Amino acid sequence: MVHAMARPDVVPDGAGGLDLRAASAGERATARVTEGPWHGAAPVPADARADRVTSWLLIAAGVLGLVLVAVLAVRMATWDWLAAGDYGTIRLHTLDVGTSRTPLVGVYSRWGWNHPGPMLFYALAPFLRASGGDGHGLLLGALAVNAAAVAAALWVAGRAGRRALALTALTVVLLTVGLDPAGLVDAWNPYLLVLPLLAAALAAWRAALGDRVAAVVLVVAGSFAVQSHVLAGPPVVALLLVGAVGLGWRCGRGPDRRHDRWTAGLAAVVGLACWVPAIVQQLTGSPGNLGEIVDFVLHGDETPLGWAFGARVVGRALSLPPTWITGGLSREQHPVPWALFALVVATAWAWRRRWTSELVLCLTSLALVAAAFVGSARVTGVAYPYLFQWVWVVAAMAWLSVAAVVVAELGVRWSWARFVPAALAGGTVAVLLVLLVSGPDLSGLRRSDTPLRHVSDLVDPVLAAVREAPAPTLMTPTAYGIDTTLGIELAGRAEEQGIRLGFPSELGYVYGSSRTVDPADARSELVLAAGPARAQYAQDPRFRKVAEHDPLTPQEWSEFDRLSAVDWDSRPDGPTAPGPEYRRFQELSDRAFEAVTVYLSDQPPSTPQPADPPASSEPAGEQAPPG
């Protein structure tokens, strides 16, 4: 789209685009028309100084954003980070891209199927390959995905004018504050979809108004989000409906139907291309993954968490202080959704003013709120916080919509409002400077690879023992914690060395069928024993110990057993007000988690082990990254 400032003979229309009717000679003589507001109000007279200040501040913000990305890229490229737990699973599937095992579905789910599609693996693959398969390639890939999402969001907003660009830029950096810059390099699927979902939300607003670029961004970013995690499905469906209804109306009754029909057709083709792998798997796989998801949604026997829970999740996100900026979790039992109240008022005001663009933006945000409510209410099982990280986007869009209406009203009422875009751009620069000075908090990612570092010395001796055992060897985890972390590393290294070692075939949807062994075909068994299973297999004469990592001394194990027998919930110095003894218990628990003993039997498994999906304390993709 061409900005109005480039064409003195056009005036802005109610959709935030351009009305090609020539302005009158008198209008052209009395004032130069600048880029119009996003609505049908009279254009603001030009102010060259405000325009220059805004432009320079936006350029400064762009430079600082690029510096932040460059700093993160250098740190990630020089970091010897290990992909442990679910990161390890994502790494294995990403390495499969471009081979005969190219994935057609997404990361596994705790519900027994995979998330809808493989776009996450495809996006990370070039960076993981460039890093030689090392874990930090995932971090670089995640940074690239998030940078592309931000660029797309700003591109879409910039096509609506400087004011939209300045407001969107500030919203993006504030959301980055909530995520912490470290969140920009986190490749875990529930986190990696957040910024693409924001880009899709902004694109839905503009696509409904006929923007062709926005329509393409909507289907690509929306597809990436929902393929990464199925819980992004409700908000993405809501956004697609917004875009489809707006664009459909324009195709039938708009001023440029040919343009809008081509836009709808292009978006449909691009969207279909994004889903080709998932469709191929549905048609050729047994069972089809998309069918499994639909069947679970329609006929699943698990009880949803309920409407009250959904209202609480959305209410917390829309309450104050805004957690999408402050980070962390709100634990209010009866939150007040201030952002929703403000959004309803802003929607009514935009309707009253007949501001088409602001009204569509507000309606897009309301659709997101409704989708978040329904999606959160229909979740089953344990409500792990990571499942609802995407709800931050709903809150960010709500406040963005409210701010858009406020800024538009200011522009109508007061001449000084022409400096509002400059103030917004200045705020963006200030926040970026704070982020650069404070730096990212990488402690969470550092903790995530600690367990694997502690057990990595076991990999070579275990593989040496398996190499001498009858093949194929069934690898059986017992607790889906540190044992699975070690198992994922063993599976990857065994594959590289041509050793036939695999998880039970029932877990093929988790690790890939090439990394599994049918228990009926196994001729030997490797057990990764954690927790009580360590003592159990020590008494089994069929097994011999081949490796062990024991982080506690015998005295510490005795102390841990004693403290484990305490009913801490009934103690005043327990979880609510931790005393010295409870803190010592937590310390020993964290270290005991890493205890693992590896046993090997040269005999076939006596009884095939039924394998449950990894449902650890917090499944991430679904087993939470360690730490």
pLDDT of residue 393: 97
pLDDT of residue 274: 97
Do the domain assignments include residue 25?
Answer: no
Secondary structure of 379-434 in HEC code, one letter for each residue = CECCCCHHHHCCHHHHHHHHHHHHHHHHHHHHHHHCHHHHHHHHHHHHHHHHHHHH
**Residue 264 shares a structural domain with residue 162:** yes
**Residue 322 shares a structural domain with residue 463:** no
Interval 505-531 mean pLDDT: 93
- The DSSP-derived string for 426-484 is HHHHHHHHHHHHH----HHHHHHTHHHHHHGGGHHHHHHHHHHSPSSEEEEESSSSHHH
| Burial of 221 from C-beta contacts in 10 A (0-12 / 13-18 / 19+) | buried
Do the domain assignments include residue 622?
Answer: no
Model pTM score: 0.88
**Residue 402 shares a structural domain with residue 534:** no
Domain boundary among 386, 410, 445: 445
**Residue 467 shares a structural domain with residue 422:** no
Strand 473-477 and strand 18-19: pairing? unpaired
Q: What is the pLDDT of residues 223-274, one digit of tens each?
A: 999 999 999 999 999 999 999 999 999 998 878 889 899 999 999 999 999 9
Q: Report how many domains make up the chain.
A: 2
**Residue 396 shares a structural domain with residue 468:** no
pLDDT of residue 370: 97
Q: What is the pLDDT of residues 536-594, one digit of tens each?
A: 999 999 999 999 999 999 999 999 999 999 998 888 888 888 999 999 999 999 899 89
Range of the domain at 590: 450-601
pLDDT of residue 279: 97
Sorted by sequence, the CB contacts under 8 Å of residue 258 that are 6+ apart come out as none
Q: What is the mean pLDDT of the chain?
A: 87
Do the domain assignments include residue 463?
Answer: yes
Cα separations in angstroms, 317 against 192, 266, 310, 386, 468: 19, 35, 11, 13, 55
- The DSSP-derived string for 115-182 is -S--HHHHHHHHHHHHTTT-THHHHHHHHHHHHHHHHHHHHHHHTT-HHHHHHHHHHHHHHHHHH-GG
Maximum CA pair distance of the chain? 99
Do the domain assignments include residue 18?
Answer: no
**Residue 281 shares a structural domain with residue 391:** yes
Provide the sign of the torsion angle of the four alpha carbons 395, 375, 221, 269, taken in this order.
negative
**Residue 476 shares a structural domain with residue 380:** no
**Residue 417 shares a structural domain with residue 494:** no
Do the domain assignments include residue 92?
Answer: no
% of the chain beyond a pLDDT of 70: 89
**Residue 402 shares a structural domain with residue 508:** no
pLDDT of residue 381: 86
Cα separations in angstroms, 377 against 86, 295, 383, 515: 26, 18, 10, 36
Phi, psi dihedrals of residue 114, rounded to the nearest 5° = -105, 155
Q: What is the pLDDT of residues 81-113, one digit of tens each?
A: 999 999 999 999 999 999 999 999 999 998 889
Q: How confident is the model at residue 17 (pLDDT cuts 50, 70, 90)?
A: very low
Domain boundary among 429, 445, 461: 445
**Residue 304 shares a structural domain with residue 356:** yes
Do the domain assignments include residue 89?
Answer: no
Q: What is the pLDDT of residues 298-312, one digit of tens each?
A: 888 888 999 999 999
Domain boundary among 394, 410, 445: 445
Could you give the CA distance from residue 70 to residue 355 in angstroms, rounded to a whole number?
Answer: 39
Q: How confident is the model at residue 40 (pLDDT cuts 50, 70, 90)?
A: very low
Do the domain assignments include residue 96?
Answer: no
Do the domain assignments include residue 332?
Answer: yes
**Residue 441 shares a structural domain with residue 454:** no
**Residue 468 shares a structural domain with residue 417:** no
Q: How confident is the model at residue 442 (pLDDT cuts 50, 70, 90)?
A: confident
